[in-house]
Every structure is written in C-alpha cells, then in structure tokens.
Structure 1
Amino acid sequence: MSSVTETSAAIAGEDFSRVAFTEQSLELLRKLWSIHGPLMFHQSGGCCDGSSPMCYPAGEFRTGDADIRLGVLQLDDSEGQKLGDIDFWMSKEQFEYWKHTKLTVDVVTGRGSGFSVEAPEGKRFLIRSEIIEFPTA
C-alpha cells in the first residue's frame, strides 16, 4: 500500500489514529474539495454501497448522539497549504463491531451506487481494515 496520512485522534481518552488516508484518496479529496467545498465522511453501515465510506459536503449528512467521530483529517493542497478539516464519522452501533480495527480510506476506479460525491468522477472510496494491536497492561 502507498504511504498514508493519519487522522488526529477524536475519541475522548485515545491518543492514536483510527483512520488513515492513502495518497490516492487525498488527491481525489483535493479535487472534490475544489468542487464541493468542505467535506465529511460517514462510514456506511450496510445500505447503498455496503460498508463503503461515504463522502458528503460537510453538514449534508446529519450526525447526532447515535454517531461517533473517529478522526479528523487535515487536508492540505498540493503545496502543503491547509484547505480544511474533514471529519470521519461512524454510527456508535457499528463502531461496537469495528472498534478493534484501523480503517484506511483508499480509492479505486469504478462507480459506486451510493450518494457519495466521488461517484461522478468514475472513482469510489473503499475501506481497507486491519486489527489494532492494543498494548497489554
């Protein structure tokens, strides 16, 4: 896998990243930011594109008490200037199943069937996951 950019920790009491983004996903996010402005992710829980990460204009997908923010990506432009932050959300119920995994957002060629903003670009975001190794006491 190519190099990844980690999100900052967003869950109270945690000091590690639960979400990372590949360079290819960052390139697509820069393009989408130029089209749609600020963005957000919500990890789909099974409808639409199965368990695909869904990207929306910031605030278009309503989050609430039933959701948990897993990380915050600081998106920079190609020259390293900050564009803004992208929150990555998941339902708390789904997090109970995924709490032992680290998610990496990647991108592949092909259109998904959901409402994610990358669909018209002929690309789709996908999740690659790995088990988190928690330190033992």
Structure 2
Amino acid sequence: MAKARIVPLVGEAAVRQALAGSDDRMIEATAVRYLLQMLADAAPGNTLEVRVPPHGAVQCVEGPGHTRGTPPNVIETDAATWLQLATGALSWADAVSAARVSASGTRADLTGLLPVAWRRDDLV
C-alpha cells in the first residue's frame, strides 16, 4: 500500500507556518514530510535515504539501490535544519561544514537538489 500523500494546499500552509516560527509539532511534522515528499518527487529513485527523525524519511535519487538493511547512502538531520535546507535558507555546503547534517556514502549529497520546489508557483 502506498503512503498517503500530503496535498499541496496542506503542505504549503504547513511549511509557511513552520517558517513563520510555529511551535506546533504537528505543523512541523507536516512541513517536514511535505518537503521530503517534494524532494522524492524531484529526484525519484532509491539510492539515497534522507532521514529527518522523528518525522519521516524518503528514498530518492536514481542509481543502484538496496533491498535490505541500512542503505549505503544516508543523510540525516533535524527538522529545523531540513526546513532551512529544503527552502533555501541554508546551503548544503554550509550545513555540512557546520555539522548540521550527517551524510554517509558516496552519493550522500543534496547539492543541486536543494532548495526543493514546494510552492505551486515554483512548480510551474
């Protein structure tokens, strides 16, 4: 069974509220999951796993995949950092140099995939 998708109206509103400083955990979770969903849509595949505990994780990027156990290419970060990365408030290089992300594996790099297009006007 496929995961339920977050519709743009709900996802975009959650991202805007999270960026405005909402401290509601459900809004943060929806914003994180929506931005992960947009990343997976933009870079389909299963070579890289992007994790934002405890809210969600996606597999993305074309290339060799894995079927069992821990994937060889993993990126993990916290919700605040993911929101900044995905919306362009923080660059991938700056996040890595500040140790705000954990990236392991030769394909664990989101350069060129960030920021994600998350607003309808970005998707046109």
Q: Which structure features the higher share of strand residues?
A: 1
Does the alignment reach a TM-score above 0.5?
no
Q: TM-score when scaled to structure 2? A: 0.30
Q: TM-score when scaled to structure 1? A: 0.29
Q: Relative contact order (C-alpha < 8 Å, sep 6+): which is higher?
A: 1
